[in-house]
Chains A and B, each alone.
Chain A
Amino acid sequence: MSDVVEKTLTALPGLFDSQTGAAKITNRLRQLVKSITELTSKHEEENLIKQELCAMKEQVSSPNTSMKQMREIMVRAMYCEMLGYDASFTYIHAIKLAQQGGVLEKRVGYLAVSLFLNEGHELLLLLVNTVLKDLQSTNLIEACMALTVVAQVFPKDMIPAVLPLVEDKLSHPKEIIRRKAVLALYKFYLIAPNQVQHIHGKFRKALSDRDPGVMASSLHIYLQLIRESPDSYKDLTGSFVTILKQVLGGKLPVDFNYHSVPAPWLQIQLLRILSLLGKEDQSTSELMYEVLDESLRRAEMNHNITYAILYECVKAVYTIHPKVELLEKAARCIGNFVLSPKINLKYLGLKALTYVVQHDAKLALQHQMTIIECLDHSDFTIKRETLELLFRITNAQNVTVIVEKMLDFLRGCNDEHTIIHLVGKVSELAEKFAPDNSWFIQTMNCVFSIGGDLLQQDVPNNFLRLLAEGSESKEEDDQLRLYAVESYLTVLKGHTSHLPQCFLQVMSWVLGEYAHLQGSVDRREVIRLLTQLLDQRSVSSETRVWILSALTKIPEGQTDLILHLAERLSSSQDTVLRQQAQELLHLSQDSQLHEWVLPRGAPWDAIEVDSSLSFLDGFVSEALAAGAAPYKPPHQRQEELCEDRALNLEPYSFSLPVSLSSCSITDRQSPTLLSVSSGLSGNSTELSQKAGSSTLILEGVKRVWGKDGYLPQKEATAPLVDEPSAAVQPPVQQEAAERTEPRPELSTRNQDKQQLASSLFVGLGVGSSVSLLGRSEAPPPRFRKKPRPHESSSSGTSEKSSGSSCRSSHHTTDIFLYGSFLEEEPATSKSAFDHTPKSTTANGLSQNKDTKEDKHANTSQIFGGDMVIVRPSTIQDKHPPSESSDLTALLPADLKDLPHSDVISLTSDPSLSLSSCRLFRDEALLLLIFISNCTETVIKDVAVQLTCEELKTASLRGNIVDCLEARSTSVCHYALLMDDPHTNVSFTGTVSYQTQPGHTNTLPFSGTLSTADFIRPLVLTTEEYGKLWLSLSHDVKQNLKLLTDAGDPLRTTLNALKDALQLHVVDIIGSEGIVACRLLSGAPCLLHCRVSGAALVMWLRSPHPALPDCILYHCQRALAHR
């Protein structure tokens, strides 16, 4: 019975619909809302909504439901979703509504879609056709709705489908459509910049649109573009200034006024753009002084919006090239902000001050009192902003007060983000300005206990490095260490259960390392305190490992305690702990071994880490001889496992590297510097003996153990070692390298390094009496700045972001380095115009080298047909390559035959000039940096450091040159690998050198590379192409310009692309052409081109999702620049 009633009720609205219309629709929602508000408990609400949803479910699946009813249901569904209930069954109906309904249903349907479906929701695909239809509709409202939904929900891979239509809308007669189209393109630009690359010309048209609204919308895109590369848009400065002038002069329609201020949003956008354009550019800045002055003058009304403009104006004035008059005016404006009784303005004033004190610290003095008031303000936000300001004006005199304030704030703060942020700042200040040891240690204690395990890993790392690395005076270092030990003992005697793991780790490391400095304290006491920690439940297993390694370092004579402990732990369930307990047991029983493994008081950087584990060579070769399977790195094993899952005979193969790597972290030396001196290992006494005795099998062994399986942290650095090291050297050369006395070289280098360090800090410490203050008064904390040319890679391992990616993909670098660069000779400095084999024969390798040259010649001949000298258009030749002719002659003989680019000047200063040249090798891009000495004196200790976030870089040779003769040039080789395609990558680097002993200069340089540098032709047959095509998943389609200036447009276009991008044209059949290329020796990309009218329809496929985009981008550029 009730069923019948229910049905009649649901049918009723349909019957009445014709008369009641919209009123009816809102009624159901109204009822729902009303009944919800009448409910008293969450539980009742849940029940009610559940009922409602059930009813809706039934309704939507009934064939009798009209579109109008559906619309009403959709509104209720949106309401339920907003309340947090799942109404996903309506999603598909929302799409249907947008597709089939009349305009008003469509409107609700699109709204529901944009609320329900996230970018990437699979149902979105069903919407594409509807959107396409509506974009082409002559109905303005439909077109508007389609543009809105496109900008709201369309993901990257669906953009190509609608792009041409949206692009067309830029020339629509109605301004509202143009405006929406521009904003949709802006959104596309944010999601996938490459895809709208070809429309940049049309953006300019939008900028000069007759409707100010369209122009204003285009500014969003320009702000973004200019933020990325201000140099390319300097020519527009005049236009932006004129627009701003017109806005200020009230030339826009009154419609644009907001509380009688003319177009404030537009003004602010323009001010931002101008400040970006004028930054560090005097001539451009001069164009805008007048309009900025007017802007400051006009904004006098007392309204929020004028203050918003003023704030932006002040920032602009302080960003561009300074003009005294304007600066004064801007400073006065800040006063208005800071002194305002309105709290929002005060906040903004503080922000403005924070910005300007970076340029002129004195400005803060005027507002001292206000700042102090704000510091004790009851509002959390204001306080935090004030601390930010104080952080900027901290110096050695005020550091204690400011840090105290910051710590006070932190103690009352419970927001994770704020804590991480501020704690980082406190530790930075403490390292920079600490007045004395005790203050420093106390402050760091606070940092560790407040920041706890939220801390970024580099805070404890830097701290430990500071302790370990020390300074020029051993006495001062020991004092600091001693103080740390004392302070930690006090801490550990108190309650320890609440201490964060990170703090415990730091303490145990310091105690293990330096407890012996403290003569008065009983060793037993230290051991007792540490063992106590081990027993605590709150201590994590990682920390236990730290504690145990600390205990390993301490004992000497306290064997009873240690034995007891080791016994207890040897039955632990944790394998790592058990292993450490074993080590502890052995070491404590054999003091000689202990002394050898853990030498007391050795300077940290003298510790040799044998990253290639060559001491195990004997063991491995024996095992191999006895028939053991050679070692395979984990990834390889994994691959094999995947291949034949049925025969999985190695179920436990992954546990070993994991546990070992975790304990290797807590090894003897500083945890931050696992990479310490892997490059030196090849030169250690013990090693050279070993190497001598096992040369026969060395190669195989090296390769087996040298991969990143066992000691990932150390291994990661090995391939990048810039000196002749065991890991990258073939056996013959290692011998040779030893013959050429590597050790004296090493020791002089070490000496030089120390000299460099001490000379650096003597210069900085002038006039300071107290130890820490004196040492670290240099604005950048010294231990970060300490030049460390040997460790070009250490930053890579400590950086969290790059670390993981580095590791996962390092084996390709390995293979690459092992594979083709085995023949590389050790770094030698070549003097200019003296590149005869003489310099290399010093190593006794001339014969070896000759054969290698042949090999290179062969390889380059193989692909010689396709490899022309390429000049990708992206490299900006800022300086005309004047000396290029001289420098190309300097290309090493073995690389001469490789295709290469022009030599481009990178940078220069009075003593050095740098230029670079790109050589295209099959599996890598070689970047040669020519370092020319322009002076008449010898330049010493030239060290090059190159970094690039997107690429993997490996220095092959020549990045450290001890001595560069007058007027001579040295060549430094880098191999660059690109794993993930980026359209453009920039590299930066520094060259440090000494013109006089003890006086180090640095010269920064930077440059850009394009993907085109990394693309290599892929030679295959049409059949192979066909097979590969079907197997690839990611595809992109787009129309390109067809070059029609010659007889056969398709052939001309393809040839143009081939020249620009090193593609391989597989076949051309009629109006279609197929082309193939690959990213170095990695992912292939297949291109299918078809002529369609005046356009070239390009269809790209690749296993790599981002590669087609990149290649498309470069194709567009190549064709546009013809």
Chain B
Amino acid sequence: MMHFLLLFSRQGKLRLQKWFLPLPERERKKIVKDMTTMVLSRKPRTCNFLHWKDLKIVYKRYASLYFCCALENQDNELLALEILHRYVELLDKYFGNVCELDIIFNFEKAYFILDEFLMGGEIQETSKQSIAKSVEASDMLQETMEEYMSKPAF
């Protein structure tokens, strides 16, 4: 089971955070700090895995953005790497040639996609089509609602 998923930039700026287990705010901040320093200090041509406490950290860099997640001991690191990759593919499909800016400006969309992809730290849906469909369905609804509700709300 995945414990958390973080997206941060090369400068160590957090872009997205998803916690699958409840943690106090202070702990979260400390983890984010630990992760950014650990991952950013990795040299090139090293493997994508790290040990951290009793968890395993799997990270991968896509352009200027690092995707980083924490796994339990019995989980499969390579598989987690592919989960990250699939998430990037999903973002790419949704935004069309995704870049860091897309995620900064539409981070709530990135969360919606993630919520369709993972649930409770486990894979919920692996099909690119289905995820795209369900995210789009909500988006479409958004558009039509917008039209119908063009009167001032209050």
List chain A positions with a Cβ less than 8 A from chain B: 14, 17-18, 21-22, 26, 29-30, 33, 63-64, 66-68, 75, 78-79, 82-84, 102-104, 107-108, 111, 115, 118-120, 140-141, 144, 148, 151-153, 155, 176, 179-180, 183-184, 186-187, 190, 213, 216-217, 220, 255-256, 258, 263-265, 268, 304-305, 307-308, 311-312, 343-348, 378-382, 384, 415, 417-418
What does DSSP make chain B's interface, helix, strand, loop or mixed? mixed
Contacts of A26 in B (CB 8 A): 105-106
Give 23 pairs: A residue, B residue, CB < 8 Å, sorted on A. A18-B151, A26-B105, A63-B154, A82-B16, A102-B149, A103-B142, A104-B146, A118-B23, A120-B22, A141-B137, A141-B138, A151-B120, A187-B119, A217-B122, A256-B126, A311-B76, A311-B78, A344-B49, A345-B78, A347-B49, A347-B77, A348-B77, A378-B46
| Cα–Cα distance between A335 and B20 once the two chains are bound (Å) | 36
Decide if B99 is an interface residue (CB 8 Å cutoff): no
Q: Do B47 and A381 have beta carbons less than 8 Å apart?
A: yes
**Which A residue sits closest to B38, measured CB to CB?**
A415
Contacts of A103 in B (CB 8 A): 138, 141-142, 145
Contacts of A308 in B (CB 8 A): 76, 78-79, 82
What does DSSP make chain A's interface, helix, strand, loop or mixed? helix
- Name the residue among B15, B50, B86, B123 with the largest chain A CB count within 10 angstroms: B123
Min CB distance A315 to B, Å, is 9
Contacts of A179 in B (CB 8 A): 124-125
**Which B residue sits closest to A176, measured CB to CB?**
B134
Contacts of B143 in A (CB 8 A): 22
Q: Do A148 and B46 have beta carbons less than 8 Å apart?
A: no
Min CB distance A352 to B, Å, is 11
Q: Do A258 and B126 have beta carbons less than 8 Å apart?
A: yes
**Which A residue sits closest to B18, measured CB to CB?**
A115
**Could you tell me which residues of chain B, from 2 to 61, have a CB within 8 Å of some CB in chain A?**
14-17, 20, 22-25, 29, 43, 45-54
Decide if B62 is an interface residue (CB 8 Å cutoff): no
Q: Choose one: B17, B54, B154; the contact of A417 (CB below 8 Å).
A: B54
Q: Do A111 and B108 have beta carbons less than 8 Å apart?
A: yes
Contacts of A33 in B (CB 8 A): 104-105
**Could you tell me which residues of chain B, from 116 to 154, have a CB within 8 Å of some CB in chain A?**
119-120, 122-127, 129-130, 134, 137-138, 141-143, 145-146, 149-154
Min CB distance B10 to A, Å, is 14
List chain B positions with a Cβ less than 8 A from chain A: 1, 14-17, 20, 22-25, 29, 43, 45-54, 76-79, 81-82, 86, 104-108, 111-112, 115, 119-120, 122-127, 129-130, 134, 137-138, 141-143, 145-146, 149-154
Q: Do A141 and B141 have beta carbons less than 8 Å apart?
A: yes
Q: Do A255 and B127 have beta carbons less than 8 Å apart?
A: yes
Q: Do A381 and B50 have beta carbons less than 8 Å apart?
A: yes
Min CB distance B45 to A, Å, is 7
For the complex with contacts A118-B24, A216-B126, A378-B43, 12 further pairs of A-B residues with Cβ separation under 8 Å are A18-B150, A79-B107, A103-B141, A144-B134, A216-B123, A255-B130, A343-B45, A344-B77, A347-B47, A348-B77, A380-B46, A384-B51
| Cα–Cα distance between A186 and B134 once the two chains are bound (Å) | 22
| Cα–Cα distance between A102 and B138 once the two chains are bound (Å) | 12
| Cα–Cα distance between A378 and B50 once the two chains are bound (Å) | 14
Contacts of B47 in A (CB 8 A): 343-344, 346-347, 379, 381-382
Q: Do A66 and B153 have beta carbons less than 8 Å apart?
A: yes
**Which A residue sits closest to B129, measured CB to CB?**
A255
Q: Choose one: B78, B108, B119; the contact of A304 (CB below 8 Å).
A: B78
| Cα–Cα distance between A381 and B1 once the two chains are bound (Å) | 21
| Cα–Cα distance between A440 and B129 once the two chains are bound (Å) | 62
Q: Do B78 and A256 have beta carbons less than 8 Å apart?
A: no
Q: Do B141 and A417 have beta carbons less than 8 Å apart?
A: no
| Cα–Cα distance between A837 and B130 once the two chains are bound (Å) | 78
| Cα–Cα distance between A305 and B82 once the two chains are bound (Å) | 7
Q: Do B122 and A186 have beta carbons less than 8 Å apart?
A: yes
Min CB distance B28 to A, Å, is 9
Q: Choose one: A119, A183, A255, A307; the contact of B78 (CB below 8 Å).
A: A307
**Which B residue sits closest to A110, measured CB to CB?**
B115
- A22-B142, A265-B123 in contact; A312/B76 too (CB < 8 A)? yes
Min CB distance A168 to B, Å, is 18
Q: Do B104 and A304 have beta carbons less than 8 Å apart?
A: no
- A344-B78, A417-B53 in contact; A18/B152 too (CB < 8 A)? yes
Contacts of A29 in B (CB 8 A): 105
Min CB distance B50 to A, Å, is 6
Q: Do A30 and B105 have beta carbons less than 8 Å apart?
A: yes
Min CB distance A138 to B, Å, is 14
Q: Do B125 and A21 have beta carbons less than 8 Å apart?
A: no
**Which B residue sits closest to A17, measured CB to CB?**
B152
Contacts of A415 in B (CB 8 A): 51
Contacts of A268 in B (CB 8 A): 76, 79
Contacts of A381 in B (CB 8 A): 46-47, 49-51
- A68-B153, A82-B14, A103-B141 in contact; A220/B125 too (CB < 8 A)? no
| Cα–Cα distance between A584 and B22 once the two chains are bound (Å) | 53
Contacts of B141 in A (CB 8 A): 103-104, 141
Q: Do A344 and B81 have beta carbons less than 8 Å apart?
A: yes
| Cα–Cα distance between A217 and B119 once the two chains are bound (Å) | 10
- Name the residue among B1, B52, B153 with the largest chain A CB count within 10 angstroms: B153
| Cα–Cα distance between A264 and B85 once the two chains are bound (Å) | 14
- A184-B120, A418-B51 in contact; A108/B46 too (CB < 8 A)? no
Min CB distance A187 to B, Å, is 4
- A82-B17, A111-B111, A417-B52 in contact; A305/B79 too (CB < 8 A)? yes
Contacts of B17 in A (CB 8 A): 82, 115
